[in-house]
Amino acid sequence: MPNILKKIGLKGLSHALELAGRSDDFRRKINEFVSEDFFYNEKYYRNLIDSIDPERGDRFFTSLRRKLYSSPYWNYGPARLNKLWSTVFSRVSPYLTDFKSFCEVGCGKHNPVGSSLVMYLNGADDCYFMDMDAMDWPRATEALNDLTAAILRDPPAWLFLPQNQDIFEKRLGELKFYDSIAKQDDSILRHESFHFSNNRVEEAGIPADSVDFLTSQAVLEYFRPFDAVMKVIHDTMSPGAVSYHMIDFRDHRHFRRHMPFGFFHYLTEDLEGRGLIELLEMGVTMNMLRYSEMEKMLRDVGFEILEFTPVERQEVPAEVLGRLKGRYASLPLSDLEILRAWCVIRKPAKP
């Protein structure tokens, strides 16, 4: 049983089910019950149920997911998306006043259109979004439908560029009658403003110099080679364009199974020179770069770094420090202890 399941246990699942069956004071109770940990547990429950009975698991998961939308930590629902975009705009607003085109790199399979819809309403005429993973369209259209309902319930909460209020209201008015959302199919992808690609960003064919505002959440740590992919992103951005990224340096294997040195595990392994297949066989999907290494590469690619702010640090255990391998041994402690960071970077405007 995964470690995290042990922590909350099946008792937690049955408690959630019990709560999901009641409608009256459901919201209050589920909010008391749901913690940030639950986001991770949800994935394990899903895997667990899928391994028993995929068809039943799917029905169960979807209905539970919809009920959990009141949780601010649910990853694909409107509450999480609104919190995410409020945070992003509070961080980019000193550098970004307006944009006509938007790109989300690594949009994920469950709600791939969500962020692009929000940016379209806020004035983006072109929204590029892509992911190399296979999409889960049934859930994606559900998530889009729920998001639209949430926006229509409280439009001002979704206006992030007040100067674009007229565009926002006009587009929102049209959206009410928009077929794709009402019918829960994927016809939104044929809307002239939405450009989806089921591909890596490197192969998504985004025109050069075309994107004014580009974002990603927990994606940069996968790019390999990092500088080559960032160069492609740099080329797709228009001169002066701004980009926001949340980066997760934690060893991702520890989310799925216990690793002896937890989120720091890869620092203790000798992985330099190993091939991609070998790394994948070891469960390593990340590029394993650290904060200072990414910062240098971003500068070398040609980005101006406007912000690069750690949001989560953890003291590196002494047993890890005694086992640091390869180049990690020469990185400062202040770098190794950073678990997550966000950055705002800019492609310099043409002189």
Ligand X SMILES: C[S@@+](CC[C@H](N)C(=O)[O-])C[C@H]1O[C@@H](n2cnc3c(N)ncnc32)[C@H](O)[C@@H]1O
CA distance 230 to 237: 11
Which region among 124-132, 138-146, 186-194, 267-275 touches ligand X (by CB under 6 A)?
A: 124-132
Q: Which is nearer to ligand X, 218 or 306 (CB)?
A: 218
Q: What number of chain residues touch ligand X (CB under 6 A)?
A: 17
Q: Which is nearer to ligand X, 150 or 229 (CB)?
A: 229
Among positions 26, 60, 61, 222, the unique one binding ligand X when judged by CB under 6 A: 222
Closest distance of CB 40 from ligand X, Å: 12
Closest distance of CB 233 from ligand X, Å: 9
Residue 156: CB atoms within 10 A of its CB come to 8
Residue listed under structure tokens 């992919």? 229
83 binding ligand X? (CB under 6 A): no
Residue, CB closest to ligand X: 106
Residue 274: CB atoms within 10 A of its CB come to 13
Q: Which of residues 312-351 bind ligand X (CB under 6 A)?
A: none
CA distance 312 to 153: 34
39 binding ligand X? (CB under 6 A): no
Closest distance of CB 248 from ligand X, Å: 7
Among positions 25, 98, 133, 281, the unique one binding ligand X when judged by CB under 6 A: 133
Nearest to 252 by CA among 218, 294, 206, 301: 218
State how far the alpha carbon of 20 is from the alpha carbons of 95, 99, 140, 316, in Å: 43, 41, 22, 40
Cβ–Cβ under 8 Å, residues 82 and 109: no
219 binding ligand X? (CB under 6 A): yes
Q: Which of residues 52-81 bind ligand X (CB under 6 A)?
A: 75
Among positions 77, 106, 114, 123, the unique one binding ligand X when judged by CB under 6 A: 106
215 binding ligand X? (CB under 6 A): no
Which region among 5-13, 27-35, 167-175, 219-227 touches ligand X (by CB under 6 A)?
A: 219-227
State how far the alpha carbon of 215 is from the alpha carbons of 77, 134, 249, 283, 335, in Å: 18, 20, 17, 26, 23
CA distance 315 to 163: 44
Q: Which is nearer to ligand X, 75 or 238 (CB)?
A: 75
217: its two tokens: 């959440």
Q: Which is nearer to ligand X, 208 or 329 (CB)?
A: 208
CA distance 8 to 13: 8
Binding site for ligand X (CB under 6 A): 75, 105-106, 108, 130-133, 200-202, 217-219, 222-223, 229
